[in-house]
A and B are shown apart, each in its own frame.
Chain A
């Protein structure tokens, strides 16, 4: 929102502080300032001059040689004996007696001031005649787009006067971020900002009379009436719609002061009719639209111009002022004649009924539209106009009558227009036709200062609060301990008492609030064990050389398919940015696997481990705590990959997992081969294990048969599709495992006697799983060991001879120690002999 300091000054009756101070104040109490532009510097050196004489250029048909009077103020310029200065001018409208803007030598052309290449004038010859600087066009002065002639000063001015002074161009433009005013429709007009600035500077603001009460009889009534009919078929979306026909319009450029105000707040001047509607909009935040009356009438071919406010019919099209043709969205607010669309209400007018230089009669529309509908239409069609910016904040329906009257007055004054119809006012609040009342926008409040003070930490009394609020034209007065408060009609944002608290706090100044920490109680803050566990795992895995990654929660449907997962079970976005991000993940592993190949390609070939914490979702699986929502399964996923190495990657992933279990003091789980796990029949597990190779993976199960996750290598198809190296393996599990299965420390007293260590190597058939073998070994040893001993078994080696793949040799290291005595080797030898015998008969094991 661009604010012109000079424009708002017209509504203020006190001196503003220096610009720097003002901007800080605005930032703290109104909204963040994006930019402050010093407009005055652009016009440095440009002065008012009078064309004293104007002769045809001797050597050029289209040029004139002028002598101008600058009041003698410009230094270092060649003058004739009368003190006049010679300037060559090519404009067709240059003539004796004109008051013009003269850019003398050494001054910069204002329109080039902010460009990369500012153009500084000098005295130079044009076809043999010296021109001292130039007479400027509206375009060169950055006031309008007119470059067909020089700008003719249309107000009282003296030669030698700084040009900027004439049109108040010694101005600052303060650009306040629009989003600060999301709930402040009034602040999208200079008037609203002027009021706020008065309020935060502690001055009482008074709106101009015409904004508080509609002006009456401000424009001449035409003897001939122009028939106009308005129908509002969608009162629920259009609470108020005012229209009036005006005749005898003379379309011409508007006065320079209007053009100048518009251009400095970012609006291109067009002609007096359009400029008046824009001027009113920039001043009050109420958008207006002018239709060519005769064009509207001609569409229907009758004697009456009709405006119908309705929704579009199927297939209806409309060409907008911008030239773009649209098929308005189904629920758009359409303005139509009796037969045809003529405008996208509140967004943009139609080209067919545009005001042009031949327009004689107009219809002025001043409406109030549903803010959400305007925003949707704007988004649906990609139309972001100044009207949209204002309507989508929710303008007050109580201002239309005042603004219509003010606009009519300006049309009378600046376009010679006469009122040619009744002022039609269709009011329908909350969808019902009803008359507007003072309380249409809001009801009054009665509140104690305590309510306000408690919420902002102050101790303001009634008078102080009343003073703050009345400064911005609230009605506020003391009624025995409580303050009666009513917001003015333009403040559609004030709905509840807390809104008044905000208003008081802001006007008072948040920087003056007492800063005070809340009092704490001594009860200990509860920990979040899951987060603490995650933090610990992060530390452990990163210390073990792995890298924590984050990947998107959304994946491509193709990735799910490549993994053998079911797309149907994945939540799907209806408005995904791209197919890459269309589905919520069914598990995390696929996302990490996708990162393997790019990293290998980037040169990380020696092996790396990626891990991530995240969540998985499955359609149809409800959250146990909130059954109406999908369950969110916490997951930890880890993937190891290397381009070369010996042995299977499975064991590296497994190494990481057992390391993690050990360091985090988690009870061991059963590593159950996936291939023999049977039908799982649980969508979570099915989706989780989908990419894992059943021959080379295990389920992580506890004694109660609860499955915590999966560990293993990936199916050949998955490896191929994602270009994974052979040495790729990973695991994915529920990190709650680490919370729920924390081991109790079980201390074993330290024996005083020496340990005996012996190895035993057994040759068994290759098809006996290690788990089974280990179980047989430990069961036997624990069952047959001498009393009062401590016993440990570790797998020390597994070996297969090149020429005998039918068997494997497994070496176990046995450590045994007694609490009562020094153990003899023979005792251990006996125990191991027994073991060998037992396994020999049970599984035909041979001791080596």
Chain B
């Protein structure tokens, strides 16, 4: 490219020569000479400004192209034969290897979920995963949230722009209870043959909540349900106590506190005696660990899945995973879990 304006032509010449020697080629775009040319525009008589400006712009464009071309070249990797088991020209001792075993790790949350589901599996519970996108029916209606209930607003629950067939937005489930209706329906036949429904559902859930060290919008829950003839609240307590004793490996007391959930009646919060190793002091506060929400499945929830609440009763519970893992390991910030930081991940070999 040749430039009409002698000044521009001169600068172009200087810069192109410098470009060849530059280590970081992109620096050429920051050259003082280029800036000086731009600075000159306002000092020129108005009738010359346009053509001068145009020339500088073309120079700049030429330089940009040079830089882009160079970057492409730099990035062009030697071709490979993707059907071969290894690269040509790699000596035998340099062929791809697996990383050292001691660097490997499993995510502490999935490890915890595996541990908990294993306990329930041994107690006779099957494991069914949940969904990441669900509809308003499974999230609310099937769980006995009345129309107009505030939880149906988008203050707490993420919703999508895309709508379902009833013109409701789809939702990012705020709890794994969205699976209850499906599971009840799917296992109804077995229930009627005399097999209790015993299911746990671990998965990720979402809440419209601002992030900080103790709050995440994405976290994990494990949900459980048990339905049969003659199931009562005492069985709920005994089942969860059995699980917790197995989990903590010691015999710990549990206590219930009344609570409210739309999908259980009665509803409780269950606290377990905090294992000594996790206690900071002897206070009453430290004695109990509020761990999970639970209750007897609301008759409307059973009814909606076609199960007669006069004949069958059941209980359900839900537990967050993050808090347990944080407490056990002394993890200070919940955001580490989804950070992908190796510094964090590699600690959980």
Digitize B129-172: 1 where CB-to-A-CB distance is under 8 Å, 0 elsewhere: 10111110000000000001110011100111110110001101
- A521 lies within 8 A of chain B by Cβ: yes
B228 contacts across to A, CB distance below 8 A = 518
Task: Judge whether A552 and B218 touch: CB under 8 Å.
Answer: yes
Give chain B interface residues in 34-80, CB to chain A under 8 Å: 71-72, 75-80
- Which of B85, B88, B127, B226 is A800 in contact with, Cβ under 8 Å? B88
Q: How far is the CA of A323 from the CA of B278 in the complex (A)?
A: 48
Task: Judge whether A545 and B234 touch: CB under 8 Å.
Answer: no
A610 contacts across to B, CB distance below 8 A = 340, 342, 345
A523 contacts across to B, CB distance below 8 A = 195
Task: Judge whether A550 and B110 touch: CB under 8 Å.
Answer: yes
What total of chain B residues lie within 8 Å of the partner, measured CB to CB? Answer: 119
B85 contacts across to A, CB distance below 8 A = 651, 654, 658, 770, 795
Given A517-B242, A550-B110, answer yes or no on A572-B206 (Cβ-Cβ < 8 Å): no
Q: How far is the CA of A774 from the CA of B81 in the complex (A)?
A: 13
Task: Judge whether B234 and A599 touch: CB under 8 Å.
Answer: no
Shortest CB-to-CB span from A200 to chain B, Å, is 10
Task: Judge whether B72 and A716 touch: CB under 8 Å.
Answer: yes
- Which of A575, A595, A771 is B154 in contact with, Cβ under 8 Å? A575
- A647 lies within 8 A of chain B by Cβ: yes
- A808 lies within 8 A of chain B by Cβ: yes
Name which residue of chain A comes closest to B87, CB basis: A647
Task: Judge whether B84 and A505 touch: CB under 8 Å.
Answer: no
Given A628-B135, A647-B95, answer yes or no on A571-B265 (Cβ-Cβ < 8 Å): no
- B105 lies within 8 A of chain A by Cβ: yes
- B249 lies within 8 A of chain A by Cβ: no
Task: Judge whether B98 and A659 touch: CB under 8 Å.
Answer: yes
Task: Judge whether A698 and B83 touch: CB under 8 Å.
Answer: yes
Q: How far is the CA of A426 from the CA of B204 in the complex (A)?
A: 48
Query: Which stretch (B4-12, B15-23, B251-259) binds chain A?
Result: B251-259
Task: Judge whether A716 and B75 touch: CB under 8 Å.
Answer: yes
Task: Judge whether B107 and A671 touch: CB under 8 Å.
Answer: no
- B177 lies within 8 A of chain A by Cβ: no
Task: Judge whether A599 and B87 touch: CB under 8 Å.
Answer: no
Q: How far is the CA of A727 from the CA of B179 in the complex (A)?
A: 42
- B233 lies within 8 A of chain A by Cβ: yes
Task: Judge whether B170 and A630 touch: CB under 8 Å.
Answer: yes
B349 contacts across to A, CB distance below 8 A = 542
Task: Judge whether A726 and B77 touch: CB under 8 Å.
Answer: yes
- B33 lies within 8 A of chain A by Cβ: no
A181 contacts across to B, CB distance below 8 A = 260
B266 contacts across to A, CB distance below 8 A = 498, 501-502, 505-506
- Which of B88, B94, B128, B234 is A514 in contact with, Cβ under 8 Å? B234
Task: Judge whether A552 and B341 touch: CB under 8 Å.
Answer: no
B299 contacts across to A, CB distance below 8 A = 496, 498
Q: How far is the CA of A351 from the CA of B159 in the complex (A)?
A: 37
Name which residue of chain B comes closest to A656, CB basis: B98
Shortest CB-to-CB span from B160 to chain A, Å, is 5
Digitize A536-575: 1 where CB-to-B-CB distance is under 8 Å, 0 elsewhere: 0011011111111111111000000000000000011111
- B103 lies within 8 A of chain A by Cβ: yes
Query: Which stretch (A22-30, A52-60, A125-133, A462-470) binds chain B?
Result: A22-30
Given A379-B155, A573-B161, A577-B208, answer yes or no on A547-B105 (Cβ-Cβ < 8 Å): yes
- B214 lies within 8 A of chain A by Cβ: no
- B269 lies within 8 A of chain A by Cβ: yes
Task: Judge whether A379 and B338 touch: CB under 8 Å.
Answer: no
A515 contacts across to B, CB distance below 8 A = 234, 237-238, 241
Q: How far is the CA of A696 from the CA of B234 in the complex (A)?
A: 61
Shortest CB-to-CB span from B19 to chain A, Å, is 20
Name which residue of chain B comes closest to A548, CB basis: B107
Listed residue (B85, B217, B238) with the most chain A CB atoms within 10 angstroms of its CB: B85
- Which of B81, B109, B131 is A629 in contact with, Cβ under 8 Å? B131
Query: Which stretch (A278-286, A473-481, A600-608, A784-792) binds chain B?
Result: A600-608
- A411 lies within 8 A of chain B by Cβ: no
Digitize B322-349: 1 where CB-to-A-CB distance is under 8 Å, 0 elsewhere: 0000000000000001111111011001
- B13 lies within 8 A of chain A by Cβ: no
- Which of B98, B165, B169 is A574 in contact with, Cβ under 8 Å? B169
Query: Which stretch (A212-220, A524-532, A680-688) binds chain B?
Result: A524-532
- A520 lies within 8 A of chain B by Cβ: yes
Digitize A172-202: 1 where CB-to-B-CB distance is under 8 Å, 0 elsewhere: 0000000111111000000000000000000
Task: Judge whether B106 and A548 touch: CB under 8 Å.
Answer: yes
Task: Judge whether A525 and B121 touch: CB under 8 Å.
Answer: yes
Given A546-B104, A553-B218, answer yes or no on A652-B96 (Cβ-Cβ < 8 Å): yes
Shortest CB-to-CB span from B191 to chain A, Å, is 11
Give chain B interface residues in 179-206, CB to chain A under 8 Å: 194-196, 198, 204, 206
- Which of A513, A658, A797 is B92 in contact with, Cβ under 8 Å? A797
| For the complex of A and B, 9 pairs with smallest distance between CB atoms | A545-B99, A595-B340, A502-B266, A771-B83, A457-B234, A457-B232, A770-B84, A647-B87, A542-B104
10 inter-chain pairs at a CB distance below 8 angstroms, sorted by A residue, are A457-B234, A518-B231, A543-B104, A546-B99, A547-B342, A549-B345, A550-B337, A617-B132, A628-B135, A795-B84
Name A's B-contacting residues (CB within 8 A): 27-32, 179-184, 372, 375-376, 379, 392, 454-457, 496, 498-499, 501-502, 505-506, 510-511, 513-518, 520-521, 523, 525-528, 530-531, 535, 538-539, 541-554, 571-577, 581, 584, 591-592, 594-595, 598-599, 602, 604, 607-610, 613, 615, 617, 619, 628-630, 632, 645-648, 650-652, 654-656, 658-659, 671, 673-674, 695-698, 712-713, 716, 719-720, 726, 769-772, 774, 795, 797-800, 808
* Extra pairs beyond A28-B255, A525-B198, A798-B88 (19, CB < 8 Å): A29-B258, A32-B269, A457-B235, A502-B266, A518-B228, A531-B127, A542-B106, A547-B104, A549-B345, A550-B107, A550-B338, A550-B340, A552-B338, A553-B172, A573-B161, A574-B169, A608-B342, A619-B162, A799-B88
